Amino acid sequence: MQDTLTLYKLIVLYILNRVDFPITFAQVSDFMLNRDYTNFLTLKQVVDELAESNLILTETIRNRTHLSITEEGRSTLHFFRSRINPAILEEIDEYLRENEFSLRNEVSVLGDYYKSTSGEYQAHLVAKDHGVSLVDITLTVPDEEIAAAICGNWQKKNTDIYKYLVEQLF
């Protein structure tokens, strides 16, 4: 079982090493679970152990956990990469080539809200490209339902809103 867990850890490290942006636990689990490599609970254990060992960083934003590899994780992967079957490496590479745009877009658009000290809600909306903020907006609204709807719609309409702002302001 330990060898299997080690393999899963190396696969996660390899995935994170192959992208130049943080990806979510859900994105990693989609890859791993859809190919029947493991189950959800085992993958959660693997990610938790990688984080505890400082091989990856985890950051929870709203209800998504973002994962990124550390230098220590890169070093570990360098020493043990040969333990991953070349067919698995190719499958990961192909998946990332085919899905890089959607994976990047999903984590580059963030919408979160919180209750301010005045009792109103603030919806904080961010769109990034290669780690650079394109748009960073905070809207104050009267209630939580509106703030949640704004954040949900931001995920769907951020490109159109960015384009509109640029057209109107330039």
Could you give the domains of the chain? Answer: 2-107 (1.10.10.10), 108-169 (no CATH)
- When pLDDT is cut at 50, 70 and 90, the band that residue 62 belongs to is low
Select the highest-mean-pLDDT range: 51-55, 96-100, 152-156. Answer: 51-55
Predicted pLDDT of residue 73: 97
Summarised one tens digit per residue, pLDDT across range 82-141 is 999 999 999 999 999 988 877 877 767 788 899 999 999 999 998 887 667 889 999 999
- Give me the residues paired with residue 56 across strands: 69
Of residues 112, 81, 102, the one with CA closest to residue 15 = 81
Any residues with CB less than 8 A from the CB of 131 and at least 6 apart, and which?
A: 21
- When pLDDT is cut at 50, 70 and 90, the band that residue 2 belongs to is low
Select the highest-mean-pLDDT range: 48-52, 105-109, 134-138, 160-164. Answer: 48-52
Q: Please state, in angstroms and rounded to a whole number, the distance separating the CA atoms of residues 82 and 84.
A: 5
Chain centroid to CA 35: 19
pTM value? 0.72
What's phi and psi for 163, nearest 5 deg? -60, -45
